[in-house]
Amino acid sequence: MEGIATDRPEHPVFYAGRFSEQVTDAGLPGDQTVLSDWDVLPSQLSSALERASVLVVLDMLSFPFESLTGDLQDVPLILLLPAGFDANFLMTVFGKAALSKLSFFDRIAAADDVWTEVRQIYGFTEGQRLDIDDDRLGRAAAEIWAALEAESALHAPLGEGAYEADRYWTARGDALAGGAPHRAICSVNHSSRFNKAIHRVQAKALGPQFAAARGTQADEIPFDVLEVGAGIGRWAASFDLAKTRFTGVDISEGMVEAARQNFSQCRFDLLGEEPVLPYGDESFDLSFSVTVMHHNPTPTKWALISEMWRVTRPGGRLMFLEDFVSGGWSATSTVYPMSVNEFVELLVEATAGQVVLEHVESIRYRHDDFTRGGLLSVSKLGVAKTW
């Protein structure tokens, strides 16, 4: 193993296991760590992954997946499925230990036929696949390294001058959704490890509330869900899509296109210039947004909340996972600060008070020294217009 200095910036870590010589000989040009099968004692692995931006597992058969616990689960994984085995074998060997634990920020490099089967079973998205032309380990490592470099180098033309939500998010989504989708949906200036850590915290808060929103509704009745600001559709993966009709709406055409590729069984629509949702009244059982409202000025927030309330059925839920804590506003900031009390007042006003507070949860991200996020869930009051 190459020397590990704790003050090194985040860098990719390649686990080459029994084939470390092949990977070392490939002469990867960047600042990365290559681990062999001698480097997998828990303390060694933990130390090696401390500053890892991503962990590329090239030799899955010798990698101890059970060692990835605690903060190490924030490290995004890229798994190179071993060549020469069929999908059934791979799922039997790696299903429980690795494949079933992958999240939206983890990716897989696999041959076409294996990918198709594995994707279907585990619900992976097209954006989670890394195309590899040559499955020899040295060449594959070089291809993965080049793909990671290309993603981080992709420039988003975010424009000059003061922040305007519509222009900014359209430009950012269109530029990044195809080539660097994970940067498009979270913090564009942070690593995918940072973004995966945030995603995991949000998922932990949202999961139980999604389940609570479905409640005791019978499985035979489809659960209609709307996400406002759906991006590339990452939260669709949180639902059982066999029992859910998931609809997403976004302002960026690039995002909508990527979301459609990721979840072909779901519906994704482009939101026009006006914040008017293109759906009829009382069409959804759950309408939610994740870190969308705080990027918009108050009039847009008001309009979106009002629209979300309109398209939600009485008894259905509206959920907002937002930042309710931030510093002062500046011309270059992409956040319009609004405290939870101010947001609740806006929510009551935009819905004419026809909501009941169901859940409140503060959310603290691991890299922050203060509590920033909050999840609010309300149910819509009223009697359905149609039965």
Partner 1 sequence: MSENDFYRPEDLDRLRMENELLAFEVRFLKARSGGPPDVAGSPVSLSRMTHLEEAETDLKLLLRRINNSPLGPVARTNKNFKTLNNRYLKRSEDAMSMAPAQRVAYLEGAERDLVLLLGRLGRWPLGVAFRRRKSFRTLQERYL
CB within 8 A of 43, min separation 6: which ones? none
From the list 3-11, 57-65, 101-109, 343-351, the region that binds partner 1 by CB under 8 A is 343-351
As measured in angstroms, the least distance from the Cβ of 125 to partner 1 is: 32
Q: Which is nearer to partner 1, 67 or 326 (CB)?
A: 326
Binding segment for partner 1 (CB under 8 A), chosen from 108-116, 192-200, 284-292, 341-349, is 341-349
Where do runs of H (alpha helix) occur along 290-357? 298-311, 340-350
- Residue ranges in 324-375 assigned as alpha helix (H): 340-350
Q: What is the dihedral of CA 153, 156, 162, 167, to 10 degrees?
A: -170
Contact predicate 146/134, CB 8 Å: no
Query: Could you give the string, one character per residue 224-263, with x where binding to partner 1 holds by CB under 8 A and - elsewhere?
Result: ----------------------------------------
Other CB atoms within 10 A of residue 265 CB: 11
Rounded Cα distance between 325 and 209, Å, is 22
Site string for partner 1, 284-323 (x = CB under 8 A): ----------------------------------------
The residues, ordered by sequence, that sit 6+ positions from 143 with a Cβ below 8 Å of its Cβ are 132, 133, 134
Tell me the two tokens of residue 66: 């059970």
Count the residues of the shown chain that bind partner 1, applying the rule CB under 8 A.
22
Range 44-63, binding partner 1 (CB under 8 A) = none
**Which tokens belong to 352?**
């004419």
326 in contact with partner 1 (CB under 8 A): yes
Candidate list 339, 349, 352, 366; residue touching partner 1; CB under 8 A? 339
State the minimum distance, in angstroms, from the CB of residue 359 to partner 1: 8
Rounded to a whole number of angstroms, the minimum distance from the CB of residue 318 to partner 1 is 16
Helix (H) or strand (E) holding 14: strand 11-17
Neighbour count for residue 259 (Cβ, 10 Å): 31
Residues between 346 and 385 that touch partner 1 (CB under 8 A): 348, 357, 359-362, 369-372, 374
Interface residues toward partner 1, by CB under 8 A: 324-328, 337, 339-341, 344-345, 348, 357, 359-362, 369-372, 374
